[in-house]
């Protein structure tokens, strides 16, 4: 994992990435026949782990048009970046036929680097839309229904037909990781609980073994800050996959990536995995499936928890607070899954 940017030297690196991205603008403007002169740039927040290689900026031209300039200068992962961009472009084209669901069009793209100019998606992130809506209010259910409905549309346009699930490669990873924890070679927090999660995954894998499911190319990083929502549109950004075909992984990402943020608060009836049952009901209604009773979804939800927990082992100490919160959330989710007999 790349270093987290913290000190002054790193700030220099961050500024350099911004400047390098801006320097591409005159070429983009010329290719697209836009006014290059007088454009204003506004930096958007990017993941702190990647800000030394990634820049996302709103560009407003002198004539008032708004675009998003996104640049990733990461030679090591360049090939993957380009494939994820292909994937974004394909989804964006296919979603054009679906009213109310979209992905910003990629208007310009460098042939061999991760620099793109895309449409500006109006509205807030789904994360913010959901935070602004209160538990128990119809508005929150409506936000979740809209998200569920949009994710179903994204998966429909990414369909790869019926598939059968074989858990072996997943469970092999689980066994290897559990062995490393037992041998003291992998330092995960709360190792005993983590080993309980590994055992649970084996049971969940067996329960879903051989199950037929509808495959779809995953988005790959579908947390609620990668979904934009306006009055009329739900829009997907920041794709991070081009070959994985398990759509349930995307849904698990929605609920687990920001753990503990989407867990049922006090006074709210928790459902599957410690998420409010009212939230599940609304999301499932929008998605059009009873996910929480589906063994394969339950497996991938548990798998996502395993990934989250494993990642906590690599967190640097100055992220102590965030790590502690995520761990507390992970423990709650695990307890809920165990109680459920998943």
**Binders of ligand ATP: how many residues, by CB under 6 A?**
20
Q: Tokens 């309980």 sit at which residue?
A: 196
Using the contact rule CB under 6 A, the part of the chain among 45-53, 77-85, 145-153, 243-251 near ligand ATP is 45-53
Q: How far is the CB of 84 from Mg ion (least distance, A)?
A: 12
- The helix/strand/coil state of 65 is coil
Q: What is the footprint of ligand ATP within residues 245-264 (CB under 6 A)?
A: none
Using the contact rule CB under 6 A, the part of the chain among 20-28, 41-49, 151-159, 265-273 near ligand ATP is 41-49
130 binds ligand ATP (CB under 6 A): no
Chosen residue from 39, 117, 121, 171 binding ligand ATP by CB under 6 A? 121
Using the contact rule CB under 6 A, the part of the chain among 165-173, 181-189, 219-227, 293-301 near ligand ATP is 219-227
51 binds Mg ion (CB under 5 A): no
44 binds ligand ATP (CB under 6 A): yes
CA gap 77, 28 in Å, rounded: 23
User: What does DSSP say about strands 66-72 and 101-102: parallel, antiparallel, or unpaired?
Assistant: unpaired
x-or-dash string of contact with ligand ATP, 73-112, rule CB under 6 A? -------------------------------x--------
238 binds Mg ion (CB under 5 A): yes
70 contact, one of Mg ion, ligand ATP, none, CB 5-8 Å limit per kind: ligand ATP
Please answer whether residues 92 and 106 qualify as being in contact, where contact means their C-beta atoms are separated by less than 8 angstroms.
yes
CA gap 223, 275 in Å, rounded: 15
32 contact, one of ligand ATP, Mg ion, none, CB 5-8 Å limit per kind: none
From 185, 204, 181, select the one nearest 193 (Cα to Cα): 181
Chosen residue from 34, 39, 52, 54 binding ligand ATP by CB under 6 A? 54
First to last CA, the chain: 32
**Tokens standing for 264?**
């049922």
The reply to whether omega before 260 is within 30° of 0 (cis) is yes
CA gap 236, 224 in Å, rounded: 10
2 binds ligand ATP (CB under 6 A): no
Please answer whether residues 114 and 81 qualify as being in contact, where contact means their C-beta atoms are separated by less than 8 angstroms.
yes
247-256 helix and 138-156 helix, angle to the nearest 10 degrees? 150
- In the chain, what are the helix, strand and coil shares in percent, each to the nearest 5? 50, 15, 35
Binding residues (CB under 6 A) for ligand ATP: these are 44-47, 50, 54, 56, 68, 70, 104, 118, 120-121, 125, 221, 225-226, 228, 237-238
List contacts with Mg ion (CB under 5 A): 226, 238
């Amino acid at each position: 994992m790349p270093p987290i940017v913290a000190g002054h030297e790193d700030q220099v690196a961050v500024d350099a990435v911004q400047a390098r991205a801006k320097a591409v603008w005159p070429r983009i403007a010329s290719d697209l026949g836009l006014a290059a002169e007088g454009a204003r740039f506004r930096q958007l927040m990017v993941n702190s782990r990647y800000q030394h290689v990634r820049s996302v900026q709103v560009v407003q031209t002198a004539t008032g048009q708004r675009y998003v300039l996104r640049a990733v200068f990461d030679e090591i992962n360049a090939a993957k970046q380009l494939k994820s961009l292909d994937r974004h472009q394909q989804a964006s084209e296919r979603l054009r036929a679906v009213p109310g669901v979209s992905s910003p069009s990629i208007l310009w793209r460098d042939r061999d680097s991760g620099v793109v100019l895309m449409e500006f998606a109006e509205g807030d992130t789904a994360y913010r839309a959901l935070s602004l809506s209160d538990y128990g209010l119809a508005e929150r259910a409506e936000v979740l229904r809209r998200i569920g409905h949009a994710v179903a549309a994204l998966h429909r346009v990414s369909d790869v037909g019926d598939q059968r699930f074989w858990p072996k490669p997943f469970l092999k990873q689980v066994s290897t990781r559990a062995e490393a924890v037992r041998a003291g070679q992998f330092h995960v927090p709360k190792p005993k609980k983590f080993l309980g999660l590994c055992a649970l995954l084996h049971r969940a894998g067996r329960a879903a073994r051989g199950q037929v499911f509808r495959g779809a190319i995953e988005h790959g990083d579908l947390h609620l800050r990668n979904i934009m929502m306006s009055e009329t549109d739900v829009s997907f950004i920041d794709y991070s996959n081009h070959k994985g075909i398990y759509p349930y992984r995307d849904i698990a990402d929605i609920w687990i990536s920001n753990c503990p943020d989407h867990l049922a608060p006090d006074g709210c009836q928790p459902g599957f995995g410690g998420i409010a049952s009212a939230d599940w009901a609304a999301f499932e209604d929008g998605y059009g499936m009873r996910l929480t009773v589906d063994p394969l979804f339950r497996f991938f939800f548990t798998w996502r928890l395993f990934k989250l927990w494993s990642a906590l082992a690599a967190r640097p100490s100055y992220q102590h607070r965030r790590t502690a919160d995520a761990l507390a959330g992970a423990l709650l989710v695990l307890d809920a899954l165990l109680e459920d007999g998943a």
